[in-house]
């Protein structure tokens, strides 16, 4: 069987599902190639932040998934005796108008995503199909696949291919792309536990026990489930450590009354890694195929979902001829530095809470208890670095208020640019230019009404009179004048004549 698609997505975990779904919602003809015949039955990821929730919103499954999640009520840092050293706040709102972060049970999460994506008319999902060879040319990509059900070999052609195929990524290997170490490699025992009585109140917040003898972390998961992770020490035998008596000993300080079954136990090496290149011709990488990070900030899957949100709108526009192919150069240019910054934050936090030096740990605990610690422990997502799509005042996520009538702003805007100005006069001519460049929505603060207060506050803090927001909800530019941004955009990416910029 020979077939031609616009995009082939290799891998159908959460990032592959999001990538295929975001492209599918834009009408892109997508083929998903996934070796496994069903959703992976065990939990792996467990945390999603508001940026990921915003992607679920765009996919159309947020309102179904949110009730199945648990709010993140914060992180308590504790010493070896379980004395609370400091509380990192959780269970807060966010710029997205959604919870700051939530915990979820991945098999349920994946099944909802799979159902939503496979129902899209332009997306075809082929499970039991394994990519065995890959070739890329100037006009497209050719993939050879083995159908594990029939034993047949299939040849598939696509304009573009995106590898969302995990840490071991065959796509990355076939590209010949190496991984750069970002300076973190530690082995940890990861346990997923199910309380036999289904109790959900044995742990209501995440805890990081900063015990230099063996650091560990635990957090709740929906359905009376709990995740616990213990650092492996020199001389540990993983098989012995995973024996029931050893597990009970490890878990007893935090879960003295847990009557548990072990749903999953595995030893993982937590890495800080980034692919040396995220693109080779018409092949791109996303998610764990492009980067891996230690789990201390819960940003691994979230970063992969941000990859999908960043790439999908750009690739769809290139495929439709609405913007030039140079637009895709901004994918790695924006995402790679952003990921490296997040990885570095996770590595630094992991070293801070996971030191095994007794004296260093004692000094850390003293400073935390006394309030002398100058290190910010709450994680703030960095802005995108300046570039062709990030001009003055740009790079951060734009606020999402709920509008009169209950509609969220992102749903109203859809796959378009958004221009917000303080006055209608500021929009004169500006709105016409952006509409000629790409579909856009233009609105004043007055037209947003009282529900637009988060947007007004955001603009006040930045001294901005007018702002342009990209389809992935990142700010392109904000300030008193957009001339530099518009000139840069038109020179870099325009594929047709534009309405003259007002002077």
314 and 425 share one domain: no
Q: How many domains does the chain have?
A: 2
Share of the chain above pLDDT 70, in %: 95
3-state SS assignment for residue 31: strand
163 phi/psi in degrees, rounded to 5: -85, 105
157 and 29 share one domain: yes
Exposure string over 345-381, b if 16+ CB within 10 A, otherwise e: bbbebbebbbbeeeeebeebbeebeeeebeeebebeb
pLDDT tens-digit readout, 234-254? 999 999 999 999 999 999 999
Torsion of CA 424, 430, 435, 440, to 10 degrees: -60
- Is 275's pLDDT higher than 70? yes
161 and 289 share one domain: yes
In the block, residue with structure tokens 């570095």: 344
**What are the residues whose beta carbons fall under 8 Å from the beta carbon of 280, sequence distance 6 or more?**
136, 175, 176, 177
3-state SS assignment for residue 319: helix
Q: What is the pLDDT of residue 446?
A: 92
143 and 288 share one domain: yes
Residue 146 included in any domain: yes
Residue 212 included in any domain: no
pLDDT tens-digit readout, 453-502? 999 999 999 999 999 999 999 999 999 877 777 767 766 676 654 445 45
Query: For residues 93 and 87, what is the distance between their CA atoms, to the nearest angstrom?
Result: 17
- Is 409's pLDDT higher than 70? yes
319 and 425 share one domain: no
| Contact yes or no for 192/43 (Cβ under 8 A) | yes
pLDDT bucket at 285, cuts 50 / 70 / 90: very high
Torsion of CA 180, 184, 187, 191, to 10 degrees: -100
pLDDT tens-digit readout, 332-367? 999 999 999 999 999 999 999 999 999 999 999 999
311 and 414 share one domain: no
Helix (H) or strand (E) holding 28: none
pLDDT bucket at 375, cuts 50 / 70 / 90: low
pLDDT tens-digit readout, 250-270? 999 999 887 899 999 999 999
pLDDT tens-digit readout, 190-207? 999 999 999 999 999 999
In the block, residue with structure tokens 């529900």: 451
Q: What is the pLDDT of residue 437?
A: 77
In the block, residue with structure tokens 């937590």: 270
Query: For residues 442 and 439, what is the distance between their CA atoms, to the nearest angstrom?
Result: 10
Mean pLDDT, range 231-236, rounded to an integer: 96
Query: For residues 314 and 471, what is the distance between their CA atoms, to the nearest angstrom?
Result: 9
The CB density around residue 151, as the number of other CB atoms within 10 Å, is: 7
3-state SS assignment for residue 343: helix
Mean pLDDT, range 96-100, rounded to an integer: 95
Count of alpha carbons within 13 angstroms of residue 16, beta-carbon side: 32
Mean of per-residue pLDDT scores for the chain: 93
CATH (domain of 459): 3.40.30.120
21 and 118 share one domain: yes
Q: What is the pLDDT of residue 2?
A: 62
pLDDT bucket at 377, cuts 50 / 70 / 90: low
Residue 469 included in any domain: yes
Q: Where a domain ends, among 326, 353, 370?
A: 326
Residue 295 included in any domain: yes
Nearest to 340 by CA among 404, 276, 399: 276
48 and 146 share one domain: yes
Q: Where a domain ends, among 326, 356, 386?
A: 326
Mean pLDDT, range 144-161, rounded to an integer: 96
Q: What is the pLDDT of residue 496?
A: 53
**What are the residues whose beta carbons fall under 8 Å from the beta carbon of 332, sequence distance 6 or more?**
277, 278, 279
CATH (domain of 317): 3.50.50.60
Query: For residues 56 and 63, what is the distance between their CA atoms, to the nearest angstrom?
Result: 9
319 and 416 share one domain: no
Query: For residues 474 and 484, what is the distance between their CA atoms, to the nearest angstrom?
Result: 17
Q: Which residues pair with 254 in a beta bridge?
A: none
Residue 209 included in any domain: no
Query: For residues 200 and 252, what is the distance between their CA atoms, to the nearest angstrom?
Result: 17
Residue 260 included in any domain: no
424 and 320 share one domain: no
Evaluate the CA torsion angle 492, 284, 113, 222 in order and state its sign: negative
Mean pLDDT, range 269-289, rounded to an integer: 96
pLDDT bucket at 160, cuts 50 / 70 / 90: very high
Q: What is the pLDDT of residue 503?
A: 47
Residue 333 included in any domain: no
DSSP letters for 67-112: GGSEE---EEEE-TT--EEEEE--S---TTSS-SEEE--HHHHHHH
Q: Where a domain ends, among 301, 326, 351?
A: 326
Q: What is the pLDDT of residue 501?
A: 45
168 and 24 share one domain: yes
- Is 430's pLDDT higher than 80? no
pLDDT bucket at 428, cuts 50 / 70 / 90: confident
Mean pLDDT, range 31-49, rounded to an integer: 96
pLDDT tens-digit readout, 58-96? 999 999 999 999 999 999 999 999 999 999 888 788 999
Region at 183 (left for phi over 0; alpha for psi -120 to 50; beta for the rest): left
- Is 369's pLDDT higher than 60? yes
Q: What is the pLDDT of residue 380?
A: 86
Range(s) of the domain holding residue 481: 409-493
Q: Running DSSP on this structure, what letter comes out for residue 288?
A: G
| Alpha-carbon distances, residue 108 vs 322, 376, 495 (angstroms) | 37, 34, 43
431 and 307 share one domain: no
- Is 179's pLDDT higher than 90? yes
Residue 221 included in any domain: no
Count of alpha carbons within 13 angstroms of residue 339, beta-carbon side: 34
| Contact yes or no for 209/215 (Cβ under 8 A) | yes
């Amino acid at each position: 069987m020979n077939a031609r698609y616009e995009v082939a997505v290799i891998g159908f975990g959460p990032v592959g599902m999001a990538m295929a779904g975001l492209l599918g919602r834009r009408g892109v003809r997508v083929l998903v190639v996934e070796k496994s015949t069903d959703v992976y039955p065990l939990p792996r990821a467990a945390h999603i932040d508001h940026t990921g929730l915003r992607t679920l919103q765009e996919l159309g499954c947020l309102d179904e998934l949110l009730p199945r999640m648990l709010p993140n009520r914060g992180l308590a840092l504790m010493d070896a005796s379980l004395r609370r050293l400091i509380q990192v706040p959780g269970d807060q709102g966010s710029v997205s108008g959604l919870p700051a972060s939530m915990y979820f049970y991945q098999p349920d999460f994946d099944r909802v995503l799979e159902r939503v994506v496979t129902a899209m008319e332009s997306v075809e999902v082929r499970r039991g199909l394994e990519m065995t060879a890959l070739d890329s040319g100037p006009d497209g990509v050719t993939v050879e696949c083995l159908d594990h059900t029939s034993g047949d070999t299939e040849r598939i052609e696509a304009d573009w291919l995106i590898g969302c195929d995990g840490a071991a990524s065959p796509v990355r290997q076939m590209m010949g792309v190496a991984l750069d170490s970002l300076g973190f490699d530690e082995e940890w025992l990861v346990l997923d536990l199910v309380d036999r009585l289904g109790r959900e109140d044995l742990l209501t917040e995440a805890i990081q026990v900063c015990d230099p003898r063996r650091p560990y972390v635990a957090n709740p998961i929906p359905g009376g489930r709990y995740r616990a992770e213990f650092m492996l020490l020199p001389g540990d035998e993983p098989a012995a450590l995973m024996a029931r008596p050893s597990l009970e000993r490890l878990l007893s300080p935090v879960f003295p009354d847990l009557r548990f079954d072990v749903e999953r136990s595995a030893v993982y090496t937590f890495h800080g890694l980034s692919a040396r290149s995220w693109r080779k011709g018409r092949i791109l990488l996303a998610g764990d195929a492009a980067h891996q990070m230690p789990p201390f900030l819960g940003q691994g899957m979230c970063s992969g979902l941000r990859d999908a949100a960043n790439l999908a709108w750009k690739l769809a526009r290139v495929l439709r001829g609405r913007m030039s192919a140079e637009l895709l150069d901004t994918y790695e240019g924006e995402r790679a530095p952003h990921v490296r910054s997040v990885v570095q934050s996770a590595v630094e936090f992991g070293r801070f809470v996971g030191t095994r030096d007794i004296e260093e740990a004692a000094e850390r605990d003293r400073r935390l208890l006394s309030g002398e610690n100058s290190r910010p422990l709450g994680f703030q997502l960095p802005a995108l670095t300046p570039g062709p799509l990030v001009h003055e005042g740009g790079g951060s996520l734009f606020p999402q208020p709920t509008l009169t009538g209950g509609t969220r702003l992102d749903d109203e805007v859809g796959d378009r640019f958004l221009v917000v100005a303080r006055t209608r006069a500021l929009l004169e001519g500006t709105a016409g230019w952006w509409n000629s460049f790409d579909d856009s929505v233009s609105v004043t603060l007055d037209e947003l009404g009282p529900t637009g207060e988060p947007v007004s506050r955001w603009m006040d803090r930045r001294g901005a009179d007018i702002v342009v927001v990209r389809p992935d909800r990142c700010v392109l530019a904000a300030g008193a004048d957009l001339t530099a941004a518009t000139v840069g955009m038109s020179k870099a990416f325009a594929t047709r004549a534009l309405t003259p910029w007002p002077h």
